[in-house]
Structure 1
């Protein structure tokens, strides 16, 4: 598959005469491809597998790079020193450096000394397990703290880019959105769609996750299990609870079957160390917050697949398929809401100060009927502008009916009630009835596609030593 979108990252990597850079990002986000594209023939890639000994790794690299005539070495650090001497213009790319913990942890301290001694060494390292990389590189007591000039954190490809990829692969815009709802912006999975024969997205998902040999079913479990280590069960329980529609700490606690005080530590680790979930607040009102799985792929897996292993073990694949399809029909609605949140900054009629989902209580209503939710609320505090949005993954929507219900819910939002300018956006696949007004917009898939075609926005985080800059 051709290389998409990372022009800014490529320019940044190439801007260093003596690159000493850490490239961070979750698995399948495209770190290795990015580094190889940046340095081309100058790049000497050394992939560290956690399943091999130091000697096996060295022998493997000798076979991969016969042109370098690498002698036999016992230690990896000696091989790195050799490469610096015989190929001083090359960039030594140490891929998945966190795996060295399982091979020879002492290498990190050897590399620390090498970087201190050889200011001419052109070394780029990358890794996937963010919590472990923080121990290696980012914390002050870390062996490689301060030894690199910049940390480049690679995020998933933006919505506009995956829409372009899906279009290039021959998929309709709607099907491209479905792929995005499942795989987010992880380019590795789009490469898979390039290789397989095109069919209905639902059939692809059944083949990949449910029908034997279901090649992707265990992939996420394996990746997260390795990152979480021995405590993976409690993390999986929390993520499963969230994936099944339990976003508050109390709901997660009840679903997991542990007191809130016993799971807050794991919630914090999932948020701060692993960066898999995030705490979200309503733009107005309730400050207690809810929790959200950040990655579409992780959200999809824990919403639809995490408990199907039992049926596979019992040879009940037909039951698993039925459950999966029933859940999938509901999942598209949740996925579409996530799509809208990504796309909305390109559509907003005003500069956004805050945006997100909103929830609250209806004054005077009886218990059980006294709550409401709005899919999207955005506001500009200085200009006192507020926008209310509703998302419906449906065709032939009666927009006027949805509009009336949304206006009713907007009336419950206690934010400058008598002194605000209101906007209303309804998002759906298509509309059969809609009454446009100055402050009302109905956004169907055709309109959304046109907006994304005009946008090539993306973001990344580049950190110079310990200072973080959003560019």
Structure 2
């Protein structure tokens, strides 16, 4: 919003691309940006070109109170852009939402817009926004080199899901925020549709394990709208959700060829649904890369809902949640807790909370050994080793000793580095609580280079990040 408002005040012609996955808040962002400004948002649909032009004619005529346009309408896209050109001597926002639907019906549209932008619109005060939910199509239609519109945009916004600190700020209860974020992720439309006063078991039963709930079918809808062969992607996502993270394990589990798996994993990464992780401190080209589902609701749906579709369809969702979800929910949330802590550390990085400003981070694994989180600074030769446990009464002394032993197997600047250690848990054994937490008062010092963070400390960090 800050970026859009700044561009609006410049009074120069703008061609902004706003894109991101469905439900992430693109239309809401545009509507709030339009508030008290001159302009309108035109929502495209999957319908014939003539119907789209007719509907746009009515909406534009209503906005400009133009009876002649209301009677005649736009005959083609040339007349539509010519009309906008005539109205752009003053600052005005024209936002075309779900732009890919228009191109799908008329693939000449990008070339037509290119011509009008180059010859006319870029000399006006127009603030043009193209918006779309198909990340892949928006990039190929507007931003890639072979697109007619390549080089025309003046800015872009890839809208991503909210961070954990925002979900906590909305729910106001740290333990409940961890549970809800672990299931629903950071998609605003999902979170705001929930009754967060419910227990997580009640919420899952009502919002995912009911056949008439929109979240039950939304994952399928998103995949089918983005992908031409969803059955193969379903197989790959299901395999990853079941713990197969290497390309070899995914290939063996799905029965698909290595080439197909590699191709489809690349597409899922482009769609921001899957991420490839390599051990912290090593090159991104490392062959030890593993694949994880990035979106929490996708992961939860494939891990728990998809295998229980038959029970859900027969109105036995409550029994499925009780017997097939909740016995395993703590372990599931424990894995998501690792991502949550990482997200919190990223949110407070550089804010005088952590012992140093880290420039690299990630989990680490090698020959059967794993460390949940490593954060390091190349310029300061400092490194922080972390273990995360979504458990109560954790015995820190035993866990810390194991962490220090494993840290010696990380070769990064081993001869000339300053080491820090951190344990994060819901709570620790009472005898371990003498270890001070990260400072939130502006100081960087950590006594003995070791720190324990319990759930109260994590909550304090969330509040610090939101300041």
Measured against the shorter chain, the TM-score band is 0.7 to 0.9
Contact 1:396 1:431 in 2 (8 A): yes
Q: Displacement, 1:16? A: 5.0
Match in the other structure for 1:49: 45
**C-alpha deviations, 1:251-270, integer Å up to 9, x for none?**
11122123424421222222
Contact 2:34 2:40 in 1 (8 A): no
Match in the other structure for 1:128: 133
Pair 383,135 (structure 1): closer, same or farther in 2 beyond 3 Å: closer
Match in the other structure for 1:464: none
Report 1:3-402 matches (<5 A): 6-8=1-3, 10-12=5-7, 14-40=9-35, 41-50=37-46, 52-61=47-56, 64=59, 66-68=62-64, 69=66, 70-71=69-70, 72-86=73-87, 88=89, 89-118=91-120, 119=122, 120=124, 121-167=126-172, 172-193=173-194, 196=195, 198-229=197-228, 231-271=229-269, 273-284=270-281, 287=286, 288-313=288-313, 316-318=316-318, 320-321=320-321, 322-345=323-346, 346=348, 347-361=353-367, 371-402=368-399
**C-alpha deviations, 1:334-375, integer Å up to 9, x for none?**
1111101111232531232321111112xxxxxxxxx12111
Contact 1:285 1:414 in 2 (8 A): no
SS, match of residue 279 in structure 1? strand
**C-alpha deviations, 1:195-217, integer Å up to 9, x for none?**
x4731133112211003422211
* Structure-2-length-normalised TM-score: 0.84
Pair 313,191 (structure 1): closer, same or farther in 2 beyond 3 Å: closer
The structure with higher relative contact order (CA 8 Å, sep 6+) is 1
Q: Displacement, 1:416? A: 4.7
2-side partners of 1:259 and 1:410: how far apart?
Answer: 37
Pair 318,205 (structure 1): closer, same or farther in 2 beyond 3 Å: closer
Contact 1:36 1:43 in 2 (8 A): no
Q: CA RMSD in A?
A: 2.6
Pair 401,123 (structure 1): closer, same or farther in 2 beyond 3 Å: same
1-side partners of 2:80 and 2:211: how far apart?
Answer: 43
Unaligned runs of 5+ in 1: 1-5, 362-370, 458-471
Unaligned runs of 5+ in 2: 436-446
Pair 12,393 (structure 1): closer, same or farther in 2 beyond 3 Å: farther
1-side partners of 2:59 and 2:328: how far apart?
Answer: 45
Q: Displacement, 1:319? A: 5.2
Pair 143,448 (structure 1): closer, same or farther in 2 beyond 3 Å: same
SS, match of residue 11 in structure 1? helix
Match of 1:448 among 427, 436, 458: 458
Pair 104,185 (structure 1): closer, same or farther in 2 beyond 3 Å: same
Contact 1:29 1:154 in 2 (8 A): yes
Match in the other structure for 1:469: none
Q: Displacement, 1:75? A: 2.9
Task: Compare 298-307 and 338-347 and name the one that shifted more.
Answer: 298-307
1-side partners of 2:99 and 2:272: how far apart?
Answer: 19
2-side partners of 1:334 and 1:419: how far apart?
Answer: 32
SS, match of residue 308 in structure 1? helix
